């Protein structure tokens, strides 16, 4: 009997032999899919996010089309922030915007600690519905990392450099630490809720963590991540940590007690492996720009990467950053077929 996608995914999480590496794509649900754009017409992002039937449909769309091994729940890293701050909205041409960003230590005290049960019950309900519809695919839950969430609250929008966040942390270390503690509590509860709904793994996204130099990352961020990953109720759940633009941070991150690191395109899988050692899993790291090129280029680079990654058993194929919204779906199909046809050499001595 061939393995189900869920079995394949879980075997790779445990470091067991699989005929090929499992795969999913960051931002696999969303704007490059015509069926997503159709459903999105005339609705706000929040209307879709907060409606479990719609969130379930959007989560399933890429699986129906491409049969990835894992689905990632359609939600957002900003979900716990809606009840926490005023006027958070996603504006289609601009991204997230917060009405009153944090500018002083006292502003931290105005934040309300949100809980999944009271403030975003739709997340658990969406997961319950997806889990029911998709028993044979892996399901991934996720949250933003505390630093990235802090940056949205302080910058008030997407950031090019996290400058305001860094200055806030340097000028007001005590208030910043309070903010990070609060966000860490919120993240932990969000992850526990997702675990209760039977997710196979969770991924924590530190999308703006790469703006910090190693020393600041180690002092200001790492202790909070540590608290997440050693939480007694999260310990037996596989955890994937992703910090975008973070090759300079990997030697600081390497002993974090997570199971996998998701690697962006600022280093090769081989170099990442050298840094993190043999016992951590790696996920990544095709630059999604390839998907806007040609079939031949996609097949060639994907095959090369599959060979590079799958010398080791704890490997999940993924993109380096989220899929671009202008990606032709035919090119994603080429990528998917290339991965599905790949066969790991049975005789390899990967660990």
Q: Which residues bind ligand 1CP (CB under 6 A)?
A: 26-31, 40, 45, 72, 74-78, 90, 92, 95-96, 142, 158, 205, 207, 244, 321-322
Residue closer to ligand 1CP, measured from CB, 76 or 119: 76
Residue closer to ligand 1CP, measured from CB, 92 or 277: 92
Structural contact between residues 127 and 194, judged by C-beta atoms closer than 8 angstroms: yes
Cα dihedral 125→44→200→129 (10° resolution): 30
How near is the Cβ of 91 to ligand 1CP at its closest, in Å? Answer: 9
d(CA 293, CA 128): 38
How near is the Cβ of 46 to ligand 1CP at its closest, in Å? Answer: 10
Count CB-CB contacts under 10 A for residue 346. 7
d(CA 202, CA 164): 29
d(CA 186, CA 115): 7
Q: What contacts 288, CB < 8 A, 6 or more positions away? A: 319, 320, 321, 322, 323, 324, 327
Residue closer to ligand 1CP, measured from CB, 143 or 310: 143
Residue closer to ligand 1CP, measured from CB, 68 or 108: 68
Pairing of strands 95-97, 89-91: antiparallel
Residue closer to ligand 1CP, measured from CB, 142 or 342: 142
Longest dimension (CA), the chain: 61
Residue closer to ligand 1CP, measured from CB, 24 or 172: 24
d(CA 201, CA 14): 11
Residue closer to ligand 1CP, measured from CB, 184 or 207: 207
Residue closer to ligand 1CP, measured from CB, 27 or 65: 27
Q: Containing H/E element for 97?
A: strand 95-97
How near is the Cβ of 30 to ligand 1CP at its closest, in Å? Answer: 3
User: Hey, which residues does 240 pair with through a beta bridge?
Assistant: 203, 260
d(CA 41, CA 26): 23
d(CA 253, CA 214): 9
142 phi and psi angles, rounded to 5 deg: -160, 170
How near is the Cβ of 2 to ligand 1CP at its closest, in Å? Answer: 25
How near is the Cβ of 1 to ligand 1CP at its closest, in Å? Answer: 29
Structural contact between residues 101 and 155, judged by C-beta atoms closer than 8 angstroms: yes
Count CB-CB contacts under 10 A for residue 259. 21
How near is the Cβ of 307 to ligand 1CP at its closest, in Å? Answer: 26
How near is the Cβ of 54 to ligand 1CP at its closest, in Å? Answer: 12
CA angle 7/75/125 to nearest 5° reads 75
How near is the Cβ of 42 to ligand 1CP at its closest, in Å? Answer: 12
How near is the Cβ of 50 to ligand 1CP at its closest, in Å? Answer: 13
The closest alpha carbon to 259, from 240, 233, 285, 276, belongs to 240
Residue closer to ligand 1CP, measured from CB, 26 or 306: 26
């Amino acid at each position: 009997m061939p393995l189900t996608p869920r079995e394949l995914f879980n075997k790779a999480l445990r470091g067991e032999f699989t005929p090929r590496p499992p795969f999913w794509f960051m931002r696999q649900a969303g704007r490059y899919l015509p069926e997503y754009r159709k459903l999105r017409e005339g609705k706000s992002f929040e209307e879709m996010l907060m409606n479990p039937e719609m969130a379930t449909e959007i989560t399933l769309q890429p699986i129906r089309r491409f049969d990835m091994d894992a689905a990632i729940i359609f939600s957002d890293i900003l979900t716990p922030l809606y009840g926490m701050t005023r006027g958070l909205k996603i504006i289609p041409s601009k991204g997230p915007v917060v009405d009153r960003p944090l500018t002083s230590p006292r502003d931290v005290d105005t934040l309300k600690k949100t809980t999944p049960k009271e403030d975003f019950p739709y997340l658990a309900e969406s997961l319950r519905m997806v889990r029911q519809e998709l028993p044979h695919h892996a399901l991934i839950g996720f949250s933003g990392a505390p630093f990235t969430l802090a940056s949205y609250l302080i910058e008030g929008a997407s950031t090019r450099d996290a400058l305001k966040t860094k200055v806030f942390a340097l000028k007001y270390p005590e208030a910043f630490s309070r903010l990070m503690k609060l966000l860490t509590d919120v993240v932990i509860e969000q992850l526990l809720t997702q675990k209760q709904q039977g997710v196979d793994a969770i991924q924590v996204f530190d999308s703006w963590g790469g703006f910090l130099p190693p020393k600041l990352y180690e002092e200001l961020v790492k202790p909070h991540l540590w608290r997440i990953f050693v939480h007694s109720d999260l310990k037996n759940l596989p955890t994937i940590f992703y910090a975008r633009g973070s090759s300079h941070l990997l030697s600081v991150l390497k002993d974090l007690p997570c199971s996998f690191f998701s690697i962006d395109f600022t280093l090769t899988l081989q170099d990442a492996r050298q840094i993190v050692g043999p016992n951590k899993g790696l996920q990544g790291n095709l630059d999604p720009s390839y998907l806007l090129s040609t079939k031949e280029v996609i097949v060639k680079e994907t095959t090369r990467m599959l060979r590079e990654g799958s010398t080791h058993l704890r490997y999940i194929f993924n993109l380096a950053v989220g899929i671009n919204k202008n990606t032709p779906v035919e090119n994603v199909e080429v990528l998917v077929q290339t991965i599905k046809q790949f066969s790991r050499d049975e005789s390899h001595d990967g660990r």
